[in-house]
Structure 1
Amino acid sequence: MTGPRRGEGEAGGRRRGDNSAALPLPQDRPAVVIVAHARPRSLARLLSSVARGRYPGAVKLVVSVDKSDDPEVLRVAEEFVWAFGDKEVIRRPERLGLRRHVLSCGDLSREHGSVVVLEDDLYVSPEFYAYAGQALAFYRGRSEIAGISLYAHHLNVHARLRFEPLPDESDVFFLQMASSWGQAWTWEQWRGFRDWYGGHDGPVTAEDNLPDAMVGWPDSSWLKYYTKYMVATGNYFVYPRESLSTNCGDRGVHHRSGTTLFQVPLQLFKSSFRFKPLADSAAVYDAWFELLPSRLDRLTDSLKGYDYSVDLYGTKAPGRLGTAHVLTSRRCRSHVRSFGRTMRPPEMNVIAGVPGQDILLSAVGEVVGAADGQLPQFYPELSSRRLLAMVRARLAGRLGLTKRT
């Protein structure tokens, strides 16, 4: 298998001049860094999508190939023709493994000022570079931002349930979890993590303030360390509402077999993006994909005065909440406020004051059960087979059987 020839893969037959059209907003010009290992077809597919991108001028492409017994990956990387600037292929002389490999690729932000990092099982929109460059420029120097995601989650990856951020007038929301399915960093953002990581590279344990499912991810996961850093420092990743990358779910280190569970639609047409500061956004979520109480209080007065956590997905251990009350979908012996669950996203039921007994504000000590029994009612469009598969996946995650980046 070989990479695309010059001119191949340009959407609609566009020539280089079209791909290099000036973009309307100020933007960084990050290097594009590809993380590759043992999947030549995946690498060729990703490179073909990167070749379709629109670029504001010369852009450096780096393909980092971890040591492998398969020479085909290196051949695909070396034969790929990059029409938009310099290309460098880094051949790792020893097997780094996924975590060390991604960390070494993030370190390239020091040389280039900023980077877009893409693992080889991804596929990107032609507008991925416009979004990344504009987002990096807008959030540069804002110490509360730890990085930029190209991927937009449609699932809460811990609960394996639908996730829908509250809409607003911007193209982004904020999540206290790093992204591994297309991400960008400035050197300043990456250096903040690297400085912290030097003293915190030991095992992630149940004592860390992270979702239980994430704690169970394998040690090869760099993402759980970056998320631990974000939780410890109070920083957030910027996420797009419409995805600029998608995860093809190829078999690899963290997928024992292929999956389409994390495929999402791509934004193919927008080249100018609207951002807002973290402080001005109501769509700010913690590492469990739960809306921050401070943001919910901006939208409703019904819970003001209570010291509470949000646990609408039912994935937080009550004994580790650290608040007197919890807003939850779990069963409780008693409660002080209650809401129905007919609107989406689920926090809209609280904002709108929907009557019912599905979402409860309860003292933490009154929580007695799980929320899984509510799945068929709130996700009726999912087939019984898909629901069963999601529940099994969720249980496997609790048992440490599922693996992820």
Structure 2
Amino acid sequence: MVGYRRHFLPLFLLVSVSILFFFTYFYSSIPPSFPSNPNPDFALTGRISDPKTSAFTLIVKVLAYNRLESVSRCLRSIANADYLSDRVHLHVYIDHFPHDDAHIKLNESHRILQFVDQFVWNFGEKLVHYRTGNVGLQAQWLEAWWPSSDNEFAFVVEDDLELSPLYYKFLRSLILNYYYNTSNYAPSIYGASLQRPRFVPGKHGNKIRLDEGTRIFLYQIVGTWGQLLFPRPWKEFRLWYDEHKAMGIKPILDGMVTTGWYKKLGEKIWTPWFIKFIHSRGYFNIYTNFLHERALSTSHRDAGVNYGKTAGPDSHLLDESSLDFNLLEMKPLTNLKWYNFCFREVIPQRIVKNKSELVSVLHSVQKHKNIIIVSIFGVSESTIRNFLCHFERLNKKNYILLGHESELLNDLTRRGHPVIYADPFLKTLKTFKFTAFEGTTTELMKLVLAKFYIIKSCLELGYNPGLVDGNMLFVNGDPFADSSLAGNVVSGQSFELFFIKSSSSAQKMWTSHMVAEAEAMVESLMSRGSSSRDSISFVGIATKLLEKHGVEFKIAEEMSFGVNIGNSPSNTSLGDGKRLVFWPVDMDMNDVQKRLEELGFWIIDGDLSCKGVYCNGL
């Protein structure tokens, strides 16, 4: 028995060690399991509030085709990075050669497969996806990833790229700072590009000029030379893409260089689709600016779909030897600059709730002393967005939107439109109480008084305020930028339009009389239960008060200021000298859209976004 035990003891120990090794290897090879919803309020806020207890999974997605030298250089650079003992997964997607080229491409394709199969990846799971047919670059990108959770990120790399050994440290820090840190999180950020910023897609846009202190900034354009993708925006894009493809909609965006690419290459490329999506949503990408043409990712621009012949590396790889700053220093999101497709700066979250905020926002939008206040109360979302597209087309930036706080206004201010929230603004400025009154009439009264206070504030600051409603469109430029208006007040009787030049007498009149008397008139109208939109309009009350004080003013209708498309025949042309078109507030929106389409003034698409990008006049 003892001999039996001695005989089997080595075998027993060998089996035990083998089992122990198996379980150790097995469990160490399983990716860490993270909850799809890292904290309870994520579904409500879209934010992950505790980065210390949350973890993320990063998958490097390498897209390859028929360039062995390229993909070998790319994979070796990825394996050479510092992964800080983290588990990072590698997925390689190899597109198949066209079957009619089988006799030429077969050996090269198999050489690539052999290299990828033998390539050692010690940092996590390695997966190789070898396609059975040639799908092209668009499908390679779009089918590479569907996030399994809100903690899974994809870093997509085309095979002619080379990465810095520092790239992962930077991406990891960026994710922790701008995704998991609630104070720096914004749902409108869809990822980060590691390529050197050098391309402005908007025709006639600005050149990329950044000061030396700008290391990180936000820019709308996607960067395909090393693009980190956040899970939720990517899922949103894929569903949007499916819907638009099913409806036969093309990713045409006027004024963009990328639209020319699409017209030439069609479905061979994917970026025009993503750009159209980003434009419709108002989303942004994080970019780096490391100076001296340095970047964490460089494209060798090898011959392929995008280049007829090899163009060589587009930038210099940043590494430890050339690192002369703190790579992992991440400024707060509020300190970063945002740029659109024209590389024009976008200033988000300009919200006015009190007089001091009004002063700073007025200074940020002021141009040639004129300020345009646009009241959007009771105006449909499509009309508002069409109005703003015209302002973009006309290169108008000296405006502020006025309305009640809403999801729409929150979205507009996120996209860079300055906004005044009427209710909190009134509470900080006046003692007049609305508690005894309720309903639509009260809301109209609040906006009327808000307009009086805003006009007064603009005059006190030396600005020339012009006030319009959202049921009109400017035809050519600023209707108030006219020498014939010098020293005058203009009032629209049949539509809500008002303009006044700032002067000492105007400031005195509005400070001493107009606002106080407007409050009294509003209180009187509400006490009598007045519900007529005409009697409680800003222009109606302001006109009566101006007449009372003997102030001379011009009537907009007598100046042929605009055309009422609600009363004019469908074949009516605007003619010369018309500054705007307008329509009655009760006109059916389908009829409004139809008339504006006839005039070429309906310039939004089915996503309620501008049909084009307008960079002229920068």
Equivalent residue number for residue 331 of structure 1: none
The aligned residue for residue 254 of structure 1 is 306
CA shift, 1:75, in A, is 2.0
Partner of 1:95: 134
Larger relative contact order (Cα-Cα within 8 Å, sequence gap ≥ 6): 1
> What corresponds to 2:194 in structure 1?
150
Q: Structure 2: how far apart are the matches of 1:272 and 1:96?
A: 38
| Matched letter for residue 269 of structure 2 | S
Query: What is the correspondence of 1:336-351 to structure 2 with a 5 Å cutoff?
Result: none
| CA shift digits 1:88-141 (9 cap, x unpaired) | 111112222111111111325659811111001111111111122222232326
Contact 2:244 2:250 in 1 (8 A): no
Is 1:131 matched up with 2:170? yes
Task: Indicate conservation of the 8 Å contact 2:205/2:342, yes or no.
Answer: no
User: Per-residue deviation at 1:166?
Assistant: 3.2
Is residue 204 of structure 1 aligned with residue 250 of structure 2? yes
Match of 2:328 in 1: 272
Counterparts of 1:326 and 1:282, CA distance in 2:
24
Aligned pairs (5 A) from 1:282-321: 283-292=337-346, 303=367, 305=370
Aligned AA (2:284): Y
CA distance in 2, matches of 1:98, 1:120: 11
The amino acid across from 2:344 in the alignment is E
- Measure, in 2, the Cα distance between the counterparts of 1:161 and 1:288: 4
* Secondary structure, counterpart of 1:173 in structure 2: strand
Decide whether aligned partners of structure 1 residues 324 and 289 sit closer, same or farther in structure 2, where only a CA change above 3 A counts. Answer: closer
> RMSD in angstroms over aligned alpha carbons?
3.5
Q: What's the TM-score once normalised by structure 2's chain length? A: 0.42
Partner in structure 2 of residue 172 of structure 1 = 216
- Percent identity over the alignment? 23
Shift of 1:51: 1.7
> 1:35 is paired with a residue of what secondary structure?
strand
Q: 1:228 aligned to 2:297?
A: no
Listed one character per residue, the Cα deviations across residues 267-322 of structure 1 (whole Å, up to 9, x for unaligned) are 32455141432xx2462111233333779998967637568xxxxxxxxxxxx864
Distance in 2 separating the partners of 1:105 and 1:223: 15
Kept in 2, the 8 Å contact 1:204–1:215? The answer is: no
After TM superposition, give the deviation of residue 145 of structure 1 in Å. 0.7
Letter in 1 for 2:281: T
Determine whether 1:326 maps to 2:395.
yes
CA distance in 2, matches of 1:28, 1:54: 17
SS at match of 1:129: helix
What's the offset of the Cα at 1:45? 1.0
User: Does the Cα contact within 8 Å between 2:251 and 2:272 map onto a contact in 1?
Assistant: no
Partner of 2:416: none
Letter in 1 for 2:114: R
Query: Which residue does 2:77 correspond to in 1?
Result: 49
Return the letter of the residue paired with 1:152: R
Comparing 191-200 with 280-289, which one deviates more in the overlay? 280-289
Q: Does 1:72 align with 2:124?
A: no
Contact 2:59 2:90 in 1 (8 A): yes
Partner of 1:123, secondary structure, is: strand
Query: For residue 344 of structure 1, what is the aligned residue in structure 2?
Result: none
Return closer, same or farther for 1:198/1:96 CA change in 2, 3 Å cut-off.
same
Of 171, 178, 187, the match for 2:231: 187
What SS does the corresponding residue of 2:228 show, helix, strand or coil?
Answer: strand
Query: Residues 59 and 364 from structure 1, CA distance in 2 versus in 1: closer, same or farther, beyond 3 angstroms?
Result: same
Q: Is the helix fraction higher in 1 or 2? A: 2
Do the aligned partners of residues 305 and 115 (structure 1) sit closer, same or farther apart at CA in structure 2, a change above 3 Å counting? farther
Q: Per-residue deviation at 1:61?
A: 1.1
Instruction: Give the whole-Å Cα distance in 2 for the aligned partners of 1:110 and 1:78.
Output: 28
CA distance in 1, matches of 2:199, 2:79: 28
Unmatched segments (≥5 aa) in structure 2: 1-50, 98-104, 180-184, 351-359, 373-388, 397-475, 480-618
The residue aligned with 1:239 is 287
Report the counterpart of residue 62 of structure 1 in structure 2: 91
SS in 2 for 1:200: helix
Does structure 2 conserve the Cα–Cα contact (< 8 Å) formed by 1:61 and 1:85? Answer: yes
Give the distance between the partners of 1:157 and 1:121, measured in 2 at CA.
22
Asked whether the equivalents of residues 191 and 229 of structure 2 are also in contact (C-alpha less than 8 Å), the reply is yes
1:203-238 per-residue CA deviation (whole Å, 9 max, x = no partner) reads 5354x3x54311121222211211111110111111
- Mapped to 2, the partners of 1:54 and 1:184 lie a distance apart of 17
Amino acid at match of 2:332: K
Taking structure 1 as reference, are residues 288 and 295 closer, same or farther at Cα in structure 2, changes over 3 Å only?
farther
Give the letter aligned to residue 125 of structure 1: S
Which whole-Å CA distance do the structure 2 matches of 1:111 and 1:61 have between them? 19
For the residues of structure 1 that align with 2:303 and 2:115, how far apart are their CA atoms?
18
Counterpart amino acid of residue 308 in structure 2? R
1:241 and 1:187 map into 2 onto residues whose CA distance is 24
- Letter in structure 2 aligned against 1:267: L
What is the CA-CA distance between 1:147 and the residue it aligns to? 1.6
Shift of residue 183, structure 1, vs aligned partner: 0.7
Q: 2: CA distance between counterparts of 1:39 and 1:108?
A: 28
Highest Rg: 1 or 2? Answer: 2
1:246-277 residue CA offsets vs partner (Å, 9 max, x unmatched): 111110012112224x7023332455141432
1:52, distance to aligned residue in structure 2 (A): 1.5
**Separation in structure 2 between the aligned mates of residue 179 and residue 91 of structure 1, nearest angstrom:** 25
Cα distance in 1, alignment partners of residues 342 and 234 from structure 2: 23
Change (3 A) 1:293 1:188: closer
- Work out the CA distance in 1 between the residues paired with 2:134 and 2:391: 42
What is the distance in 1 between the residues matched to 2:93 and 2:147?
Answer: 11
1:137-167 deviations in whole A, cap 9, x for unaligned?
A: 3232631111211112134356699943433
1:167 touches 1:283 (CA, 8 Å); kept in 2? no
Aligned residue runs from structure 1 range 6-85, under 5 A: 28-57=56-85, 58-68=87-97, 69=105, 70-85=109-124
Per the alignment, residue 502 of structure 2 pairs with none
Compared CA separation, residues 160 and 212, structure 1 to 2 (3 A): closer
- Is the CA contact 2:57–2:88 (under 8 Å) kept in the aligned structure 1? yes
Stretches of structure 1 that go unaligned for 5 or more consecutive residues are 1-24, 308-319, 328-361, 366-405
